Chains A and B, each alone.
Chain A
Amino acid sequence: MIPAAFDYEVAESVEHALGLLAADPDAKVLAGGHSLVPALKLRIARPSKLVDIGRLSDLAYVRDAGSQVAIGALTRHVDVQGDPLLQEHCPIVSMTAGKVGDPQVRHRGTIGGSVAHGDPASDLPSVMRALDAEFVIVGAGGERTVGAGDFFTGVFQTAVGHGELLTEIRVPKLGDTTGWSYLKYHRRAQDWATVGVAAIVHRDNGTATSASVSLTNMGGTPLRASAVEAAIAAGSSPAEAAVHAADDTEPSTDTAASAEFRRHLARVLTERALTQARA
């Protein structure tokens, strides 16, 4: 499969990239290309131009930012997976990056591309939703920071508008009394999540006192399982709370699973994730 023809330009800086995007309403950003190149080959995407930000090495970093860890948008999955700062302070992010695709995909794909793509089956967006991560977006009008609750706006849609770039993702440092788990069900080893569940649990002596739970692929965006969170806050056990995991969700039926199977998976994985995170 060969993509339709397009122009190509290498961005030398963030400002240069913004200028190139502003000059062409049909231009698209290319980062690692591991969602975009398959779409170009299928001709689902037919941009007039690709603005390649893949060489902006100043956007590839993981830094200590006080109560948060800041991750540059161009940090590749393999570098997120192996980063000592994330492994220490927010291991759910590094561990989940290691569950994305396969080694070849992780050598090229970036965390920024993964969240900016807005694929409901992707793993990291759901983890970001559970963590209430923050996203730094720059455009002609300057810089703004958007919370995860407002970032994922629909299927393949995010708060990153045309002509804008996502530059950084900030995740909270999790303290000693916070447990976490990300579990995903998939049929083939390298695949996206049929359903995934991210759980962040605040615990006191083996009891969960509050939890943030986000569901992957149970709707068009990562969804917070608010009924589960309310049940945990009211003192329910993981098993009792997980009964509500699929409440108010409208998962799709596709070749990987029926909607009914997805609801079942959401309940089973939520119970397991809460139990693991509480331990």
Chain B
Amino acid sequence: MHPVTMTVNEVRHELELEPRDLLVHVLREQLSLTGTNVGCDTSSCGACTVLLDGQSVKSCTLLGVQADGATITTIEGLATGGELHPVQQAFHDHHALQCGYCTPGMVMAAVSLIGNREAGDRDSIRAGLEGNLCRCTGYHNIVEAIAEVAGSTS
């Protein structure tokens, strides 16, 4: 077992991990943060996307030990004081979800894109979501929601 310290949604955790424990399983099973979903489990769908030191990553493709010392934000960490994060609110307003399975990963990917100023127009948003698959809503409303928050020009 390896001692690992990580700050998740502003709470510091000292954990003992097996090197093979995947970050997504650490979040879901040890920290009970089940908002982060496993979709494909093969690095393709982005449902497991979280922020690691502010950047989007696929938590099914990282070992928990690789996140030692890192600051992690999951979907549970976005809303503050009972207020939805602007991206969450925009997904709600634009009907950017149906079953919701891809949504936590989509929202986290969108927060990272907007933070990196890579959502200036709708084409960039579509390109920036290439690692996130939605199998039921389609992408149109998701792109509209992100464009509103990013103030995209076209």
In contact, B62 and A108 (Cβ under 8 angstroms): yes
> How many angstroms between the C-alpha atoms of A57 and B151 in the bound complex?
35
Interface residues of B in 1-29 (CB under 8 A from A): 2, 18-20, 22, 25
- Asked whether B130 is an interface residue with its Cβ less than 8 Å from the other chain, the reply is yes
In contact, A190 and B131 (Cβ under 8 angstroms): yes
In contact, A33 and B130 (Cβ under 8 angstroms): no
In contact, B112 and A103 (Cβ under 8 angstroms): yes
Residue in B22, B25, B58, B127 whose CB lies within 8 Å of A104: B58
Main secondary structure of the interface of A (DSSP, over half): mixed
Which residues does chain A contribute within 8 Å of B63, judged by CB atoms? 8, 30, 33, 37
Residue in B20, B61, B66, B131 whose CB lies within 8 Å of A52: B66
Interface residues of B in 22-50 (CB under 8 A from A): 22, 25, 41-44, 46, 49
> How many angstroms between the C-alpha atoms of A54 and B70 in the bound complex?
13
In contact, B20 and A190 (Cβ under 8 angstroms): no
Count class of interface residues, chain B: 20 to 34
Residue in A2, A33, A78 whose CB lies within 8 Å of B61: A33
In contact, A1 and B19 (Cβ under 8 angstroms): no
In contact, A102 and B131 (Cβ under 8 angstroms): yes
Count class of interface residues, chain A: 20 to 34
- Chain B residue nearest to A101 (CB atoms) is B131
Interface residues of B in 98-153 (CB under 8 A from A): 109, 112-113, 118, 127-128, 130-132
- Asked whether A107 is an interface residue with its Cβ less than 8 Å from the other chain, the reply is yes
- Asked whether A34 is an interface residue with its Cβ less than 8 Å from the other chain, the reply is yes
Given A101-B131, A103-B131, A104-B109, residue A8 in contact with residue B46 (CB < 8 A): no
In contact, B43 and A38 (Cβ under 8 angstroms): yes
What are the 4 closest A-B residue pairs judged by CB atoms, nearest first?
Answer: A102-B131, A8-B19, A189-B130, A3-B20
- Residue ranges of B at the interface with A (Cβ–Cβ < 8 Å): 2, 18-20, 22, 25, 41-44, 46, 49, 52, 55-58, 61-63, 65-66, 68, 109, 112-113, 118, 127-128, 130-132
Contacts A108-B61, A189-B130, A190-B44 known; list 9 others, CB within 8 Å. Answer: A5-B20, A10-B68, A50-B19, A101-B131, A102-B132, A104-B56, A104-B57, A104-B109, A107-B57
Sample (16) of A-B pairs whose CB atoms are under 8 Å apart: A2-B20, A4-B20, A5-B19, A30-B63, A33-B62, A37-B61, A38-B42, A38-B43, A52-B65, A101-B131, A103-B113, A103-B131, A104-B49, A104-B58, A105-B58, A108-B62
